[in-house]
Amino acid sequence: MKKAVKIVLGVLGALGLGLIGLILACHFKPGLSDAIADKLYKNRSKTEAQATLSEEEEAELDRITPDDLAGNRSGEEESAADPEETPELPGPDEPQGAEEPAEEPAEEAAPPAPLKTLADYGLSQENVLNNIDEYFDDCYEQLSAAKGNDTSFYNVMRDSMLGQKVLQSYDDESYREGFMNKFMDDYKVESCGWSIDEEELEGGYILVKHTFTR
């Protein structure tokens, strides 16, 4: 409504200036007064008709607030200043993404070495010892065969349980009563070196290796 009032006032101001000029013209040329007056009336009616707003337009203007106008201008400026950017896609020669390193195959554990057999040591089933007393007797006989000199030999136990008893005899030193004291007395051995080692054989047998040094 305020906009329409300003337009009407502007038109009236222009018409006022025009009327002053016409009055002066008619004063100097009275014959022109009727024709000019008629033309001026028609132009004024046309201008007022163009400047007049309909009731719907006036109601629409009343509903518009200064905040609405500021918001529209702000939205237009933001839209022009920050257009939506489309993400750039990598070109055909550009990498599509970091490739994960290929996992290296896990190293397979080497298969255990095959167990040796009685035959690998020149032994047979007849050489297998079945108890700890047989072990003590066999050690004495093989030491005596070397007559108290440096020697190495081995014997074989029937299973791991008997092999464990052999090791236990060295822990509790029962092997001394089993064969060592008798051997040292018989061959006048005052001191010696003695070591043993066990190895599992195919079939569950336990090989006992001995080394004697004087």
pLDDT confidence band for 182 (50 / 70 / 90): very high
Give tens-digit pLDDT for 2-16: 444 444 444 444 444
- 189 and 124 inside one domain: yes
pTM of the shown model = 0.51
Whether 86 maps to a domain, the answer reads no
Give the distance from CA 33 to its chain's centroid. Answer: 97
From 78, 110, 145, give the residue that closes a domain: 78
- 145 and 208 inside one domain: yes
Q: What SS3 string covers 174-205? A: HHHHHHHHHHHHHCCCCCCEEEEEEEECCCCC
pLDDT confidence band for 133 (50 / 70 / 90): very high
Boundaries of domain holding 37 = 2-78
pLDDT of residue 65: 61
Give the distance from CA 9 to its chain's centroid. Answer: 75
Greater confidence, 133 or 74?
133
Number of domains in the chain: 2
Percent with pLDDT over 70 in the chain: 52
pLDDT of residue 32: 46
